[in-house]
Structure 1
Amino acid sequence: MDFYKPRILDHLLKRKLSGKGAVLIEGPKWCGKTTTAEQTANSILYMANPTHLDEYLNLADIDPSLLLEGTTPRLIDEWQIAPQLWDAIRFEIDHRNQEGQFILTGSAVPADSNKIQHTGTGRFAWLTMYPMSLFESGESNGKITLTALFQQPEKIAAANPLTIHDIAFLVCRGGWPRATFMDREIALDQAYDIYEAIIHSDISRVDGIQRNQERTKKLMRSYARHSGQSVPLETLRKDILNNDMDRLDSATISSYINALKKIFVIEDVESWNPNLRSKAAIRSSDTRYFVDPSLAAASLGIGPNDLLNDPKTFGFLFETLCIRDLRVYASALNGKIYHYRDSYGLECDAVLHRRDGSYGLIEIKLGGERLIEEGAKTLKKLSNTIDTTKMNEPAFLMVLTGTGSYAYRRKDGVYVVPVGCLSF
């Protein structure tokens, strides 16, 4: 299987290499970090190669510069196996005095940070890689771009290639690159295999702390049930305790959550803090999400048919899919995805805020005219609440949907865009 589907990160990697000595690509296992880095690298060191692992580890202790020799940019894959390479790379960058020297990939935060003496400021750039968006995997036709929406077009038009059955499948398959080449039934197995690896080894290997497998399952299941919600730690703890006879304190839950974050399994969405005309208090708690909806589906032990029979759960996991895609697209636009919720109960699923201060407000609805109308009203209400004497007005308002035949602009200016039409 030698196919490569271009990634949005391809361009970002080359741009970052033009301005820094090294670029670190982080992200979950199996999301395509190494394969993407290989497209740009001119020499490669696979640290995890079992044939040479002991030799590499010895050299990393004795003379790490030998591991860094090779045509640039040189890829150091799974560099965190020997964290001391970080300072060696920093030293090489300083003395070579050239950009674009190294690419590092890693699926976990180094366990032994004591072996790193320098932060890498000025020498390293960081990129986070996610599983594939629908545009990257080929399921979205990409005819409606966020770049264009920031220009506020008077008209948009595109046909949605995806049915509700397609969306259910894509939620459960996820954006794992190799799975996009597989037959449907085999593709659906992949997220479950990743989930099992997390439970059985990854969550413990990240920092050497042995964690209870059943407790990890319960936490991931609880996280999946609360996808897209700003629930406090105590809510998760009580949810797990319903089926956990052992004493379970908040510190233990935090330890498990932090481990899952370190291996890029979960990534919550931060709260957006705009200037408001109203006296509403902005809720600052993060919103809970997996990096890919398929991990939530695997945690719940469900498949496409289960989602079709459970619209509420389907809606939550569809939102996770959309947040994943929006994160990927935002990275290409110098932007970041946030969530908004205030003390009056006004809530917006996603805010794409760019470095230049422009932003778009996005409501996510699986489908149906009633829900689209509800989303549009929420967007208009939030837009009218923002104090535009202190900040820009939103560049666009969009209801991002799963179903619906077309992308279009409503009379009130709100864009309705199926996720199967969206790209960056």
Structure 2
Amino acid sequence: MIRPPVSPLGEVLRRRAEPLAREALSDTRVVLINGARQCGKSTLAAVLTQSLGAEWRSLDSATWRHAAINDPTEFVSGQGPMVIDEVQRVPELLLAIKETVDADPHPGRFLLTGSARLLGLKQVPDALPGRMETLELWPLSQGEIDKTPTEAFVDAVFAQGTDFVHTSTQSRADYVSRMTRGGFPEAVARTERRRQRFLDQYISDLINRDVLQVAEIERAQDMRRLLRLLAARSGQLLVPGNLANSLTISAPTVRRYIDLLEEVFLIKRIPSWSRNLSRRTVGTPKLAFVDSGIASNLLGYDAAGLQRLDSPLGGLLEGFVAMELARQLTWSHERADLFHYRTKDQTEVDLVLESRQGKVIAIDVKAASTVRADDFRGINRLADDLGSDLIAGFVLYTGAATVPFGPRNRAVPIAALWEVSSASPPGVDDSESL
């Protein structure tokens, strides 16, 4: 029997990904949990398999790693389920796993974890098409930290539209505290000063270990300089040429470094949204850090520093909101994708959620406790083009109440992202709406 690793929080928090992973293991031969280092992948894998008598093999162990390299086929042989932790360290194992599950195709044979996107690794010989399901695990969401039963903001706004209402007691200071804390269990469990030390070491280890493993880089110091510059541009368009000019290194090198940082789950590119409504739409992606605590720490800001008027709170808060939505999209019932919208005349909407049916929720983020009608300018421009396909436009802000701004627009507290636990309106049971 496998026992879950000891959590730095003193308890193993339930992850929203757990039921999804259990479903995948029930009908899929190989399941991969992919995510950043220290986000809880090994703990989740242990929780999923502790009652199955699974074999556990961690490729962080030099002994197991050398055994896997020496004889991949023998390494994955066995009758029972097997957990292979940090599988990206020996990607050649995937061919041996493919051979094994083709010979014995019953579900739940292998549970893999990885700290780099396997499909992005050039040395990966085969991605097990049709045999493997990949689940992304992010650092803890705010609702997971708060131990709320569910987080259903995405489902609720698509179901309710302009009927969506939420109030919250969270203050601007509360949001800043959450942002600088981030979602890594080790960081959440620490005091602010000790958290900063952990995040400093995390970045150093990530560059010296995972990034160097994924691909050779010429100068680690250039990567560190790029990271700080990216943190300063959180929530902005990601233009490698501009970054290259600031760093005095080549644009191709910057592009390669950005690809590496995304492969190891440090940053996320949010693509531009367009339905060919205008030829003047900008196709450049936006940048968000997977963990807001890392972004804040790279810039040297603690919670008190981000409260200052001259702090980069706006961009960091937008990235924080974007990643809470990205987390939620991995488990929401509504199948939707996350984008941003910007035109060449500077009209923009921070975040756009589009369902598979083409219905859209437009979201702007404001680091203030008051909202004006002009804050919906970008949303209104998008609404004029979309018509009835725009379900609603929301400005997420640090105030307490939901406030209507016309028939389709609402100002909503940011905390609705993790405090809303049902897709039904308040007072209506979910079962009544089925």
- Normalising TM by the smaller chain, what interval? 0.7 to 0.9
**Bigger mean CA offset, 339-348 vs 143-152:** 143-152
User: In structure 1, what is the Cα distance between the partners aligned to 2:415 and 2:272?
Assistant: 26
1:10-409 equivalent positions in 2, closer than 5 A: 10-41=18-49, 42=52, 43-50=54-61, 53-62=62-71, 64-69=73-78, 71-72=80-81, 74-109=82-117, 116-138=124-146, 145-152=153-160, 155-207=163-215, 209-241=216-248, 248-276=249-277, 279-311=278-310, 313-333=312-332, 334-370=335-371, 373-386=373-386, 388=387, 393-401=389-397, 403-409=398-404
User: In structure 2, what is the Cα distance between the partners aligned to 1:184 and 1:344?
Assistant: 41
User: In structure 2, what is the Cα distance between the partners aligned to 1:8 and 1:142?
Assistant: 8
Distance 1:125 1:336, change over 3 A: same
User: In structure 1, what is the Cα distance between the partners aligned to 2:80 and 2:383?
Assistant: 52
User: In structure 1, what is the Cα distance between the partners aligned to 2:345 and 2:120?
Assistant: 45
User: In structure 2, what is the Cα distance between the partners aligned to 1:190 and 1:416?
Assistant: 36
User: In structure 1, what is the Cα distance between the partners aligned to 2:380 and 2:309?
Assistant: 29
Specify every segment of 5 or more residues in structure 2 that has no aligned partner in the other structure, as ranges: 1-6, 422-434
Specify every segment of 5 or more residues in structure 1 that has no aligned partner in the other structure, as ranges: 242-247
Q: How many pairs were matched up?
A: 406
Q: 1:35, CA displacement in angstroms?
A: 1.2
Q: 1:55, CA displacement in angstroms?
A: 4.7
Contact kept, 8 Å, 1:173 with 1:190, in 2: the verdict is no
1:384 alignment partner, SS class: helix
Matched letter for residue 67 of structure 1 = V
User: In structure 2, what is the Cα distance between the partners aligned to 1:132 and 1:381?
Assistant: 35
Q: 1:275, CA displacement in angstroms?
A: 4.5
**Bigger mean CA offset, 108-117 vs 317-326:** 108-117
Contact kept, 8 Å, 2:274 with 2:281, in 1: the verdict is yes
TM-score under structure 2 length normalisation: 0.84
Residue 407 of structure 2: aligned partner = 412
Contact kept, 8 Å, 1:217 with 1:299, in 2: the verdict is no
Matched letter for residue 25 of structure 1 = I
Matched letter for residue 300 of structure 2 = G
Distance 1:217 1:139, change over 3 A: farther
2:362 alignment partner, SS class: strand
Q: 1:78, CA displacement in angstroms?
A: 0.6
1:363 alignment partner, SS class: strand
RMSD, aligned α-carbons = 2.7
Q: 1:316, CA displacement in angstroms?
A: 0.6
Distance 1:217 1:177, change over 3 A: same
**Bigger mean CA offset, 54-63 vs 263-272:** 54-63
Matched letter for residue 344 of structure 1 = D
2:56 alignment partner, SS class: strand
2:195 alignment partner, SS class: helix
Matched letter for residue 316 of structure 1 = G
User: In structure 1, what is the Cα distance between the partners aligned to 2:329 and 2:393?
Assistant: 15
Contact kept, 8 Å, 2:158 with 2:391, in 1: the verdict is yes
Q: 1:259, CA displacement in angstroms?
A: 2.0
Contact kept, 8 Å, 2:162 with 2:391, in 1: the verdict is no
Distance 1:287 1:15, change over 3 A: same
**Bigger mean CA offset, 36-45 vs 154-163:** 154-163
TM-score under structure 1 length normalisation: 0.86
Matched letter for residue 57 of structure 1 = H
Contact kept, 8 Å, 1:141 with 1:421, in 2: the verdict is no
Contact kept, 8 Å, 2:376 with 2:395, in 1: the verdict is yes
User: In structure 2, what is the Cα distance between the partners aligned to 1:356 and 1:99?
Assistant: 31
